[in-house]
Amino acid sequence: MLYLLIISLFIFTFLYLSLYIDLAYLFGLTASIIIFFYVLITHHFIKIIDLLANDKKIITNKETANDHPIIKSARSRLKK
């Protein structure tokens, strides 16, 4: 999250410095908006990918009914 603050500070500093040059301001504004939204979207998709990876880990670690201690002891008593 810190890198979003650093990027936004860089963008707004560039915009402030290019305030009196019309062409640079237009280019700077366009580029700054595109870069800012690119970073936001990338950050959002990274969070989604991490959540999906965590969900897959949880699903693979689920116990089945055969792994339950009561079932195991009953099977061992019945010798199956």
Distances from the Cα of 20 to the Cα of 24, 25, 28, angstroms: 9, 7, 12
Q: How many domains in the chain?
A: 1
pLDDT digits 0-9 by tens, 62-79: 677 777 888 888 888 888
**In terms of residue numbers, what domain contains 71?**
2-78
- Reading phi first (left if > 0) and then psi (alpha if -120 to 50, else beta), residue 24 is in alpha
What's the predicted TM-score (pTM) here? 0.40
DSSP secondary structure string for all residues of 21-61 = -HHHHHHHHHHHHHHHHHHHHHHHHHHHHHHHHHHHHHHHT
pLDDT digits 0-9 by tens, 7-55: 788 777 777 766 666 666 667 777 778 888 888 888 888 888 888 777 6
